[in-house]
Amino acid sequence: MQPWLTLRHMTGSHSTKDIHKNISRSTSSPNSYAAPVLFELHPLMAFPECNPSQEDGIEGKSQPTEESCLHKAWARFLKGVSYFSGDMEVFGKWMEKQFILLQLLDWVLRGASQVMFVNNPLSGLIIFAGLILQNYWWALNGFVGTLFATISALILQQSRGAIAAGLYGYNGILVGLLMAVFSNAGDWYWWLLLPNIFMSMMCPIVSSALASINSRWDLPVFTLPFNILVCLHMVATGHYNHHFPQVLIQPRSELPNITWSEIDLAKLFRSVPVGIGQVYGCDNPWTGGIFIISLFISSPITCAHAILGSAAGMVSGLALSAPFEDIYFGLWGYNCVLACIAIGGMFYALTWQVHLLAITCAFFCAYLGSAIANIMSRFGLPACTWPFCLSALTFLLLTMGTKRIFKLPLAKVTYPEKNLAFYWRMKKEEKAEKTEKEKKTIEEQLNAINEERILDEKEQLQQELSRMEEGMQC
Amino acid sequence: MQPWLTLRHMTGSHSTKDIHKNISRSTSSPNSYAAPVLFELHPLMAFPECNPSQEDGIEGKSQPTEESCLHKAWARFLKGVSYFSGDMEVFGKWMEKQFILLQLLDWVLRGASQVMFVNNPLSGLIIFAGLILQNYWWALNGFVGTLFATISALILQQSRGAIAAGLYGYNGILVGLLMAVFSNAGDWYWWLLLPNIFMSMMCPIVSSALASINSRWDLPVFTLPFNILVCLHMVATGHYNHHFPQVLIQPRSELPNITWSEIDLAKLFRSVPVGIGQVYGCDNPWTGGIFIISLFISSPITCAHAILGSAAGMVSGLALSAPFEDIYFGLWGYNCVLACIAIGGMFYALTWQVHLLAITCAFFCAYLGSAIANIMSRFGLPACTWPFCLSALTFLLLTMGTKRIFKLPLAKVTYPEKNLAFYWRMKKEEKAEKTEKEKKTIEEQLNAINEERILDEKEQLQQELSRMEEGMQC
Amino acid sequence: MQPWLTLRHMTGSHSTKDIHKNISRSTSSPNSYAAPVLFELHPLMAFPECNPSQEDGIEGKSQPTEESCLHKAWARFLKGVSYFSGDMEVFGKWMEKQFILLQLLDWVLRGASQVMFVNNPLSGLIIFAGLILQNYWWALNGFVGTLFATISALILQQSRGAIAAGLYGYNGILVGLLMAVFSNAGDWYWWLLLPNIFMSMMCPIVSSALASINSRWDLPVFTLPFNILVCLHMVATGHYNHHFPQVLIQPRSELPNITWSEIDLAKLFRSVPVGIGQVYGCDNPWTGGIFIISLFISSPITCAHAILGSAAGMVSGLALSAPFEDIYFGLWGYNCVLACIAIGGMFYALTWQVHLLAITCAFFCAYLGSAIANIMSRFGLPACTWPFCLSALTFLLLTMGTKRIFKLPLAKVTYPEKNLAFYWRMKKEEKAEKTEKEKKTIEEQLNAINEERILDEKEQLQQELSRMEEGMQC
């Protein structure tokens, strides 16, 4: 039972070095953990009727045929995949018993990936790799932001489960990154770390406050704290500031020069990964590509919707005749990426209707993105991820008469594949209950009919009896 | 019993031709429907104690006097009126059994009139007539908007009752109209239909999302979806856009030239109907006049408040020294019209206190309108109906200690006259309960007194008896 | 028992003349009222175990030693203090039986002090004295605003208790004052009273509407109605208006000229009281000083947090490199003053953790203040107290796992000292319950042990008995 463990090792060691050890230690985790994870991956993996106990039984046998050998290998492979895909539950549970600093590192990595709704330290690690590829200084700021946001959440005694899932870190990484991206003081301006730390420590406060409001409608806070805090910092200091000057952003005041013959298809195609990279403020297509890989590792459905969203944003940009530079730079994509992920399988259980809804949401988000960017530019502000937040919240508030669009309770949201498994289980149970009920009704009807029949027979017998008695008496 | 049916025919045929047939078909509707409608119109019509059964009885008699003849004619007239005034319930019920396309037309027409809180296809028809008088292209866009908003609501499986009342169409007509009004590409720019259809199809989504929030306070969504979506479209494209350029709107940057001697009283007077027309973005006073007629047909109270609101807006404009052109153009009126209708009898039951509140709200709305117009102009946006929405929501959130200002539960809101009937019935029931209670208390007190008296008498008798016995023993 | 009554007289007569009589009449109030007030002040006064009944008993004795004499004097002093500090409950109760105009004056004065969360007519009087010192015309406008806001609340039949606590007046005074401060028409422009009266009469409507929303989260409305209404008036009229022109406020468009060597430490120090004065729009440091006194009279904790908040704002201004003039002018202080008071003991029970939270909130508020001032300046608007409202609401929405940060139910909020007493009493009760429970558990365990022992003994006895019987039988 070792090959897939090695596989995980490999994957771990390929992408990173610094947290190699903790991951390799996890090999000692008992196999029993794997069962539920594998089970949850079933719907995705299209690998029916493979329960581990049965598999263990097979292993005990002495003459495996070639087919069962392949079968076994595939099962092992899946089990291996289950250890580092999804939300890496096994690893998370193993982490709970480790030293606090190691745990903190796990939370920070999960926080980094939670920006894309992914709760996976491996994805987080890959994302940090992508950030380092983009810019060292930005990556450092992002790390500091995530770290202090998580520490602040610990100080404020927020829910330990939410902290461990990285839910207090993702706003921190965005605050740290984007404050560095939009700073006009150049890289390695160390004073910037001061407002960075202050703002990222405010993240859990704003998150908690917003959650108090949004929880009334069972809605997540998304990246609203990041939006609020980065806009706060940028507009409080502004372009004309001695300590923390911001990049100058100005509204458009003349017709942009758009010549359709000059369109560069290669760049247009490249804008799809760039759009995914722009979620973290990165314009390097390779960084965007690395992010796509990190998404695929955790959840292929998320990855597919991210690409779809970015494409939808690009198309919208062309439809609304945006300057090509903006489209190439991924500014039309990143909000749609997030909106499409959020609606397509994350907070709704994925069905065809939900898939269509997610694409609609991506187009709406692109429209909204253009509107918000124009408004914010009047204040010298970027659009941040306001368009994503507002469009996703709108689509999550939607109430419909159909059962094919099922909004998961917020407490049950994990990742699209698991959400789908939850939805299917729920539907099956409902169906079972229904058939049970129908069975009962039929049985009751049968009983009633039987009883009636018996009563009728009794009556007939009594009548016959009375007739006989009458005859006797005569 | 046919004269009023003819009357309805006439009204129908006067204003329109294309949907003449469906209306004429409705003559076959059973009379039994009329009774409740007539009853509901009583409070308005000041026509007491005329129940149809009694009337039928009278008809059976052979020697009617002249007076009873007049009486009968009046009753028939009222019954006739009840068929096309109010919310045309009878017609709506009859429509339920018709072909889906006919139903859709009914819903679209009701949607057109719902902008003014009127649920009446006849009013909708007249309103479309007014729009055609103003501008063919705008009317077409409005129709397309209403149609696609209603279709989208059907696709999204929203409540059939709300769709049939036109509650998903009124944002659509406004979106369609105002996108055409504010487009800088000139009339008959057919590409505009694309964003028009997209935005009007987004209406039910935004409506549903906002309703999820507002329903917590039992508040309607008003025209918020329209405001959001039109502002979205306008600011997303802006004045400097190749595909969908918008009209240039700029903030005031110098003292307007106002000479009080140059005021034109005729134009000032005309600004009242123009203000009502501006609800649909129309500056033609005749169109405004037609809208007044359409309001009067459905609900005279609504009509009166619309005129009052427009006048209040005009006065506010003068008080805040607005440029006369703005006042003449009806820009100070249309929000006040809607606010005054909403508060004056629509969501509150009409009493004198509510009437005063409605006028206060109109003045507040005018103030707010000026403020919002100034803010929005910084983004190149018109004020839309934001001022109305915000002021009406504020006044609906008001809680007071008095019972004379009664906010109707949202599910019971129909039209001012019916609302008033509901309020009166409720008050009567309360009174009846109260007197019942008082009666009971008095009866109980009487009983108690009687019982006491009986007890006293018993005691006296017993005492007498014992005395007698004592006498006997002696 | 008269000395402190004189003291109160003195304080009253020093600061005002016109309402001297009503206060002096209050000397006839029965002493029995004083007891609970004194009790409530205990936590602040650090004067343990001095209940009035005991004190009265001491008085009855004939040979007081010197120590008990001091003790008595101190007790009397405290009792005296209790009559005009805190929320002056005794005076308020006595007022209930007075003529309505006198009551109205009381409500207006309490309204004036409620801006700082102080419910004390004496503080209100001192505040009006400070305003008169600043500017007669502003003070008049403030008085008119408070008066009409209170009258409007009476007309709208709002809760009498809230009106009597001045909760409908504080927005009125701010509306009146700030409309006068930001008017560009110069002092004594009498027409200004018209919008002033209209806007202050709108205060209770907006307050009530906002309370309907905020009460869902048990939050106060703070000065939101003032912010909304003053911004409304200013932006509705604007700088370029014939009737009500506003002061011209423009966004910063170049680097401010900041030379750190030119900093004036005296002015920097003076900015602390100026910041407190700016809560009412006053830039006179003496006025600020008078306000500090008025705060100290009612609640020393409030006073301390006000000074801390103003200092925090000043420091933030330096950190974000604001122009020195803005800092000297107190623009960085006033929001922090209010935020620090609100969090530090007013809506949370004061502990060390809450104290730190209040200081954090003050810094956050300063940041937010700079941001909002920059945004509002684009519309020609001042920041008003939006930053305070938003930051305080955010910090009040915070939910934490710790019990050391206890948010008081809104209905129990009075003033920091009384809040603290409430919190301590609650904690004591909880502790008592806990020990009670523990006692019970121990007793039950003891009982169980005893019962077991008894049973064991019984059994042993029975066994012995049976043995003896066996022995007897042998």
For residue C141, give the nearest of C107, C204, C110, C183 by alpha carbon.
Answer: C183
Helices (H) and strands (E) in chain C, counts: 21, 0
The pLDDT of residue C64: 55
Q: Distance of alpha carbon A392 from its chain centroid, rounded? A: 13
Tell me if chain A has a CB within 8 Å of the CB of B214.
Answer: no
Least confident among A45-59, B138-152, B216-230, B440-454:
A45-59
| Residue type at position B429 | E
The pLDDT of residue B402: 84
Report in angstroms the alpha-carbon separations of B361 from A25, B215, B313, B394, C205.
Answer: 69, 22, 10, 9, 10
Least confident among B95-109, B454-468, C23-37, C262-276:
C23-37
The partner residues of B407 in beta bridges, in order of sequence, read B348
Identify the residue with better confidence: C282 or C17: C282
Q: What's the angle, vertex CA B309, arms to CA B306 and CA B310, rounded to 5? A: 85
The pLDDT of residue C59: 43
Average pLDDT rounded to a whole number, residues A317-336: 94
Chain A residues touching residue B208 (CB < 8 angstroms):
397-400
Instruction: Find out whether B345 and B419 touch, Cβ atoms under 8 Å.
Output: yes
Q: How big is the A-C interface in CB pairs under 8 Å?
A: 76
The pLDDT of residue A63: 54
Strand runs labelled E in A294-345: none
DSSP string, C108-157: HHHHHHHTTT---HHHHHHHHHHHHHH-HHHHHHHHHHHHHHHHHHHHTT
Query: If phi over 0 gives left and psi between -120 and 50 gives alpha, with beta otherwise, what is residue A413?
Result: beta
The pLDDT of residue B60: 44
Report in angstroms the alpha-carbon separations of B27 from A99, A221, B55, B91, B101.
Answer: 83, 56, 20, 9, 20
Q: How far apart are the C-alpha atoms of C390 and C385, rounded to whole Å?
A: 9
Q: Is residue A35's pLDDT more than 50?
A: no
E strand or H helix at A199, and its extent? Answer: helix A193-214
b/e burial code for range A300-319 (CB count within 10 A of at least 16 → b):
ebbbbbbbbbbbbbbbbbbb
CA of B345 to nearest chain A CA: how many angstroms apart?
A: 29
Compute the half-sphere exposure of residue B183: CA atoms within 13 Å on the CB side of its CA. Answer: 23
pLDDT tens digits, one per residue of C96-151: 888 999 999 999 999 999 999 999 999 999 999 999 999 999 999 999 999 999 99
Residue matched to tokens 């944002």: B171
Least confident among A242-256, B20-34, C248-262, C407-421:
B20-34
Q: Which residues 271-290 on chain A approach chain B with CB closer than 8 angstroms?
A: none
Instruction: Find out whether C104 and C150 touch, Cβ atoms under 8 Å.
Output: yes
The pLDDT of residue B70: 87
pLDDT tens digits, one per residue of B121-165: 999 999 999 999 999 999 999 999 999 999 999 999 999 999 999
- Nearest residue, CB atoms, B399 vs list C206, C212, C379: C212
A401's CB contacts (< 8 A; 6+ apart) are B157, B158, B159
b/e burial code for range B412-425 (CB count within 10 A of at least 16 → b):
ebbbbbbbbbbbee
Radius of gyration of chain A from its Cα atoms, rounded to whole angstroms: 29
Average pLDDT rounded to a whole number, residues C179-195: 94
Cβ–Cβ gap C232/B371 under 8 Å: yes
Q: Is the dihedral of CA A428, A429, A430, A436 positive or negative?
A: positive
A236's CB contacts (< 8 A; 6+ apart) are C320, C367, C368, C370, C371, C374
Tell me if chain B has a CB within 8 Å of the CB of A339.
Answer: no
A215's CB contacts (< 8 A; 6+ apart) are A410
Tell me if chain C has a CB within 8 Å of the CB of B399.
Answer: yes
Residue matched to tokens 């007289």: C9
Q: How far apart are the C-alpha atoms of C122 and C246, rounded to whole Å?
A: 33
Average pLDDT rounded to a whole number, residues B209-215: 95
Identify the residue with better confidence: B69 or A337: A337
Cβ–Cβ gap A401/B159 under 8 Å: yes
The pLDDT of residue C5: 32
Instruction: Find out whether C118 and C85 touch, Cβ atoms under 8 Å.
Output: no
Cβ–Cβ gap B320/C238 under 8 Å: no
Tell me if chain C has a CB within 8 Å of the CB of B378.
Answer: yes
Instruction: Find out whether A119 and A414 touch, Cβ atoms under 8 Å.
Output: yes
Q: How far apart are the C-alpha atoms of C147 and A282, rounded to whole Å?
A: 57
Neighbours of C452 (CB within 10 A): 10
B4's CB contacts (< 8 A; 6+ apart) are B76, B77, B79, B80, B81, B83
DSSP state of C239: S
Cβ–Cβ gap A243/C319 under 8 Å: yes
For residue B237, give the nearest of A370, A225, C343 by alpha carbon.
Answer: A370
Q: Which residues 129-168 on chain B approach chain A with CB closer than 8 angstroms?
A: 156-159
Q: Is residue B384's pLDDT more than 80?
A: yes
Least confident among A52-66, A140-154, C336-350:
A52-66
Query: ipTM of the predicted structure?
Result: 0.81
Residue matched to tokens 């289950």: A82
Instruction: Find out whether C186 and C135 touch, Cβ atoms under 8 Å.
Output: no
The pLDDT of residue B81: 85
Instruction: Find out whether B314 and B275 touch, Cβ atoms under 8 Å.
Output: yes
End-to-end CA distance of chain B: 92
C109's CB contacts (< 8 A; 6+ apart) are C19, C121, C122, C124, C125, C128, C166
Q: How does residue C455 score in pLDDT terms, banded at 50, 70 and 90? A: confident
DSSP state of A257: -
3-state secondary structure C267-335: HHHHHHHHHHHHHHCCCCHHHHHHHHHHHHHHCHHHHHHHHHHHHHHHHHHHHCCCCHHHHHCCCCCHH
Instruction: Find out whether A277 and A330 touch, Cβ atoms under 8 Å.
Output: yes
- Nearest residue, CB atoms, C378 vs list A202, A205, A379: A379
- Nearest residue, CB atoms, A243 vs list C253, C320, C364: C320
CA of A323 to nearest chain B CA: how many angstroms apart?
A: 10
Q: How does residue A255 score in pLDDT terms, banded at 50, 70 and 90? A: confident
Q: What's the angle, vertex CA B432, arms to CA B429 and CA B436, rounded to 5? A: 140
Instruction: Find out whether C320 and C330 touch, Cβ atoms under 8 Å.
Output: no
**Average pLDDT score over chain B:** 85
The pLDDT of residue C457: 82
Q: How far apart are the C-alpha atoms of B346 and B301, rounded to whole Å?
A: 9
Q: Distance of alpha carbon A178 from its chain centroid, rounded? A: 21
Neighbours of B152 (CB within 10 A): 21
Radius of gyration of chain B from its Cα atoms, rounded to whole angstroms: 29
The pLDDT of residue C221: 95
- Nearest residue, CB atoms, C202 vs list B216, B256, B364: B364
- C neighbour chains, 3+ CB pairs within 8 Å: A, B
Cβ–Cβ gap A394/B235 under 8 Å: no
